[in-house]
Amino acid sequence: MDRFLVSGGARLAGQVEVSGAKNSVLKLMAAALLAEGTTVLTNVPDILDVTIMGEVLRRLGCQVVRGDARVEITVPARPGHEADYDLVRRIRASIAVLGPLVARCGQAKVALPGGDAIGSRGLDMHVAGLVKLGASVDSEHGYLIARAPQLSGASVWLDFPSVGATENLLMAAALAKGTTVIDNAAREPEIVDLCSMLTDMGARISGTGSSTLEVEGVDRLHPVEHATVTDRIVAGTWAVAAVMTRGDVTVLGGRTEHLEMPLDKLVQAGAEVSQVAGGFRVQMDRRPRAVDVVTLPYPGFATDFQPLFLGLNTVAEGTAMITENVFESRWMFVNELVRLGAEVRTDGHHAVVRGREQLSGAPVTAHDIRAGAGLVLAGLVADGVTEVSEVSHIDRGYEGFVDKLTALGADVRREPAVEEPWLS
């Protein structure tokens, strides 16, 4: 895999444009399955996950044509119903085809993403919800197999406001017979985006943006053209980068109303955040102050920002407590930060971060998208060179990351993977 070589010390300054949200577009692509014909998505980010999701749809019999920030998906009258392990294991989000396929084809066979099983943490709420809507769901040979000649509306109470379960159930309920009520639903802007596309397709949804969604099923939906909401996590990444490097960055396309908590934390850290035409601007002229963070479902502080704020606190003045409530194993990244000289201790859901003046460049590994971005930002405030390997994780979520960083004044290079002859 390629790696990034990040030379620390630059102050980021200038403008950066934010593309459409990965966490939205993948579900919008799945939602296209609900209607025969050609759905057009715009403001589509040029990232690896969109390519993989496109392949999932192609193998279901759809025609998928990528253009400049757009994707056209032509869905046949009778799409296939199987999503293979070789694709699903690469993006967990491909589980989003489960709901639409059962609703549209009466059956779905979708590989379990690694580590998940019926009843265990991971997909239990997706499964329980579909069962409430009248589907039978079994797990066989590493696949979830759902069948329902006709889904029927029902009341579903989610134990936790799961983003993925809310989306799968929304899409399934859109074509179910009767009314479905999803209580304790997730409220993320990406869910609102999905509701808005489904509504344009002819779905009857009320309560959009609230934790109770009511869906009155219809017989059929029609294809639409829809612009993907901008990526709040990417926008927030640029804001954190500006603060860490004591820079001045204007985030075009960034929507402050989707970023209230993280931007407020950056202000507490000492930044100035202002609304400007087409986005917002983040200015910082001092070492950041430590800020505590507690992750929660939206509108709480997003777990996807946790690695970025943990990174910020490693160079802040003071000590911060980071509490992770959404995902259990999101601390792998800490070992990499420690390689850069960070002072972090974890205990259960908590990490205590003692800030230091500067980190020290070293080779590190990106284990997931946000941790990967967090390591690049840490490299920007480390002395010497930080070599981030396995950057295909970063490619999954950040469009043109190196080019955008370079345009803001960072010294970052992409290097092709090095052959290791001793391995052959």
Catalytic residues: 116
Smallest gap from Cβ 183 to ligand UD1, in A, equals 15
When asked if residue 168 is in the footprint of ligand UD1 (CB under 6 A), the reply is: no
Please identify, using beta-carbon distances, which residue of 26 and 337 lies nearer to ligand UD1.
26
Q: Is 350 left (phi over 0), alpha (psi -120 to 50) or beta?
A: beta
When asked if residue 93 is in the footprint of ligand UD1 (CB under 6 A), the reply is: yes
Count of CB atoms within 10 A of residue 59's CB?
15
Please identify, using beta-carbon distances, which residue of 93 and 334 lies nearer to ligand UD1.
93
Binding ligand UD1 by CB under 6 A: which of 99, 100, 122, 254?
122
Q: Which residue is nearest to ligand UD1 (CB)?
A: 164
When asked if residue 396 is in the footprint of ligand UD1 (CB under 6 A), the reply is: no
Binding ligand UD1 by CB under 6 A: which of 23, 94, 314, 389?
23
When asked if residue 160 is in the footprint of ligand UD1 (CB under 6 A), the reply is: yes
Please identify, using beta-carbon distances, which residue of 315 and 395 lies nearer to ligand UD1.
395
Task: Report the residue count for the chain.
Answer: 424
Place of tokens 């690049």: 376
Please identify, using beta-carbon distances, which residue of 136 and 275 lies nearer to ligand UD1.
136
Smallest gap from Cβ 45 to ligand UD1, in A, equals 13
Binding ligand UD1 by CB under 6 A: which of 12, 57, 125, 412?
125
Task: Enter the tokens of residue 368.
Answer: 């997931």
Task: Enter the tokens of residue 216.
Answer: 């009155």
Which region among 163-171, 235-243, 256-264, 269-277 touches ligand UD1 (by CB under 6 A)?
163-171
When asked if residue 47 is in the footprint of ligand UD1 (CB under 6 A), the reply is: no
Smallest gap from Cβ 349 to ligand UD1, in A, equals 12
Binding ligand UD1 by CB under 6 A: which of 124, 200, 383, 390?
124
Which region among 115-123, 148-156, 170-178, 253-261 touches ligand UD1 (by CB under 6 A)?
115-123
Please identify, using beta-carbon distances, which residue of 21 and 290 lies nearer to ligand UD1.
21
Which residues ranging from 296 to 315 are in contact with ligand UD1 (CB under 6 A)?
Answer: 302-304
Give the total of residues touching ligand UD1 (CB under 6 A).
20
Which residues ranging from 208 to 237 are in contact with ligand UD1 (CB under 6 A)?
Answer: none
Under DSSP, is residue 276 helix (H, G, I), strand (E, B) or coil?
A: strand
Give the up-direction half-sphere exposure of residue 152: CA atoms within 13 A in the CB hemisphere.
3
Under DSSP, is residue 24 helix (H, G, I), strand (E, B) or coil?
A: helix
Which region among 53-61, 116-124, 147-155, 347-355 touches ligand UD1 (by CB under 6 A)?
116-124
Binding ligand UD1 by CB under 6 A: which of 10, 102, 123, 251?
123
Q: In sequence order, what are the residues at sequence separation of 6 or more whose Cβ sits closer than 8 angstroms to the Cβ of residue 320?
A: 290, 291, 292, 293, 313, 352, 353, 355
CA distances from 315 to 277, 337, 341, 360, 380 (A): 31, 11, 10, 11, 11
The answer to whether 34 and 4 are in contact (CB under 8 A) is no
| Cα 128 to Cα 187: distance, rounded to the nearest angstrom | 20
Which region among 102-110, 121-129, 247-255, 338-346 touches ligand UD1 (by CB under 6 A)?
121-129
| Cα 122 to Cα 28: distance, rounded to the nearest angstrom | 21
Residue 20 DSSP code: B
**Beta-strand pair 293-294/319-323:** parallel
Please identify, using beta-carbon distances, which residue of 19 and 303 lies nearer to ligand UD1.
303
Under DSSP, is residue 52 helix (H, G, I), strand (E, B) or coil?
A: helix
Which residues ranging from 319 to 338 are in contact with ligand UD1 (CB under 6 A)?
Answer: 326-327
| Cα 290 to Cα 233: distance, rounded to the nearest angstrom | 20
Order across the sheet with 82-83: list the strands: 82-83, 107-111, 143-147, 136-140
Please identify, using beta-carbon distances, which residue of 123 and 371 lies nearer to ligand UD1.
123
- Angle CA 122–90–416, to nearest 5: 140
For residue 22, give the amino acid letter.
Answer: K
- Residues at the contact surface with ligand UD1, assessed by CB under 6 A: 23, 26, 92-93, 121-126, 160, 162-165, 302-304, 326-327
